[in-house]
Amino acid sequence: MEIREWGEELIQRYQGSGGEMTYQEAMDYVEELRTYGVRPGLANMENLMEKLGNPEKGLAFVHIAGTNGKGSVTAFLSEILQQAGYRTGRYISPVIFEYREEIQVGKRPISKKELCRKMTVMRELCRELVKEGKPHPTAFEVKTAMAFWHFREQGCQIVVLETGLGGLYDATNIITDTKVAVFSSISLDHMGILGKTISEIAGQKAGIMKPGAVAVALKGQEEAVEVLREHAVALGIPLILVDPGDARKVKRGLEKQSFSYEKFEDLTITLPGTFQIENAMLAVRAAQELGKAGFPLKDKAIYQGLLKAFWPGRFQVLSRKPCFVADGAHNRDAARRLAESIGFYFTNRRILYIIGMLRDKEQDQVLRITCPLAEQILTVPTKGERGCSSYELARRAGEYHPNVTAADSVEEAVELACLLADEKTVIIAFGSLSYLGELIRIVEKRAKDKGKSQGKGHTGRDFHGKQR
């Protein structure tokens, strides 16, 4: 049976059980699923994928794990593969703007219609599992299974798959046909789940390696590299290390950055941030290994893929006067990278922060690293069960900085920051990605309105990187 026929049969079988969901009902169901929390392990996924017909078994994957940088590597690799002409699936988390971003084919997110049709089926499959006495799948398990179904149905030749949490017991690790396993920077994060040490965390992430695959990793802390090396040796697969120090002719900037690596001269990326060149190098090396694994591509695809890749909320410049930057730094390693970029790009500039962080993130570590660089700090609330009030975050930030103000909302913080800033001030909003989507929309609307009042158009990008 063709995959599309199989999918239609599933939909017809379950639509009659309660009608097809509306988009709002689908979103409400996703929220309901969040109450099942996070359950590391693959038993639930095995049950769910069997019900669904195991669509993942007809797909080939690039699997990406890491503490920081995996989203940027995913963006670079996805664009390279698209430029090479491959029908490419892309699975990312967390998202910034809306749920549908998580599941993309090419640059197109899953449509509302397809999401509703498929989520209706997923709900009924979950109900069946519960009736059989099995645990209800979690939100991440349901959306991961639905993503595999969508990619198979859409005829994807290759899927660039980002892990959710860790690797070994992550729902995405149900896959079997991994062509290349990619590891971005590994550092301390989610220590309550993944382990207390770099070695323990690296061990969890190394779990995405599969027999017959190739592993490509960013050379970083030796204890992490050693764990990856041990896992590769045990599986009998090669581990290729990408050394950031091998970049040549590096030119950094906010508009674009260029570098040379191996045989490639003058590669250019438009993602700012001092850390993005190493992510681009990792993507280049992974793309070369994919070429050897049955997905050949021309050098032009690598040049064009890097140039066109876009990834919102990662040291993203939203406006110029004042310079407004959004970044998702929410753990100590990301905070160090943010501080490094601030020091490089904005030496001797007046810095103003907007910070919002979930309660379970490394608030003290991030604040300790970043606060000394700012003249003034505004805090904003984050929502949900893991949310943190702006007042609680302001109290914590006050331990590291004398000038902290709690704002009641993201919009209020943006308004206040813009009032406090002159044209030479740099406003940097960072912390949990959960609030950055709202902030980006607010800032870009202000820039657009200001451009209209001055007779100028807005030249920002939407979340796919297309010019507005």
CA distance 315 to 282: 19
Q: Is the pTM of this model over 0.85?
A: yes
Reading phi first (left if > 0) and then psi (alpha if -120 to 50, else beta), residue 333 is in alpha
The confidence score (pLDDT) of residue 193 equals 60
CA distance 460 to 443: 10
Domain with CATH 3.40.1190.10 in the chain: 3-308
Q: How many other C-beta atoms are found inside a 10 Å radius of the C-beta of residue 57? A: 13
pLDDT beneath 50, residues of the chain: 1, 16, 456-460, 462-464, 467-468
Pick the CATH number of 3-308 from 3.40.1190.10, 3.40.720.10, 3.40.718.10, 3.40.50.300: 3.40.1190.10
The confidence score (pLDDT) of residue 271 equals 92
Superfamily of domain 316-453: Mur ligase, C-terminal domain (3.90.190.20)
CA distance 211 to 2: 28
The confidence score (pLDDT) of residue 4 equals 54
Q: How many other C-beta atoms are found inside a 10 Å radius of the C-beta of residue 76? A: 29
The confidence score (pLDDT) of residue 113 equals 94
The confidence score (pLDDT) of residue 82 equals 97
The confidence score (pLDDT) of residue 451 equals 64
Domain with CATH 3.90.190.20 in the chain: 316-453
Q: Where are the alpha helices (DSSP H) in 154-243?
A: 191-194, 198-205, 222-235
Q: Where are the alpha helices (DSSP H) in 293-433?
A: 299-308, 332-345, 363-370, 390-397, 410-420
The confidence score (pLDDT) of residue 25 equals 92
The confidence score (pLDDT) of residue 34 equals 82
CA distances from 263 to 76, 241, 323 (A): 18, 16, 36
CA distance 208 to 181: 7
CB 59 within 8 A of CB 156: yes
The confidence score (pLDDT) of residue 17 equals 53
The confidence score (pLDDT) of residue 19 equals 76
